[in-house]
Amino acid sequence: MSSFCNPHQNNNQFSASRTQRKLWLQRQSFLADDKNYLDYPSNMKRLTKEIDRVNREYRCLLHYQDPLLDSIKRIATRRLPVSPSSSSITFPPHSYLSPSIRIHHKSLMTRLQQQCHHS
């Protein structure tokens, strides 16, 4: 970062002039009173609250991810060829699935079985 942007950084070639230091102080004073500036106290509080809210939502999403559904989706997208010895695909019973996934599971199972019979 150049010495122009950072008043605390001294360049080896020259130090900031008195006028430059005065301009930096004026800029800092102006920004401290600017309500639209990110470092303004109320903006920092609002930003912190927003970050906390997003983190809570993200943790909730991670908590309720279903690894079984992810696996079924991966299998469906790969469309692996089925060996002739196995005529159908076996899936775990519905008791292992959460209620929100049963509908998706059933439709995926139907599609996969149809693809196996057409192959």
> What integer pLDDT is reported at residue 35 of this predicted model?
72
pLDDT digits (tens, 9 = 90+) for 49-92: 989 999 999 998 888 888 888 888 888 888 655 555 555 555 55
Question: Is the predicted pLDDT of residue 119 greater than 90, yes or no?
Answer: no
Cβ atoms 70, 108 nearer than 8 A = no
> What integer pLDDT is reported at residue 64 of this predicted model?
84
Q: How far apart are the first and last CA of the chain?
A: 62
pLDDT digits (tens, 9 = 90+) for 2-58: 445 555 555 545 678 999 998 988 888 777 777 777 667 777 888 889 899 999 999
Q: Which pTM value belongs to this model? A: 0.32
Rounded CA gap, 66 and 62, in Å? 9
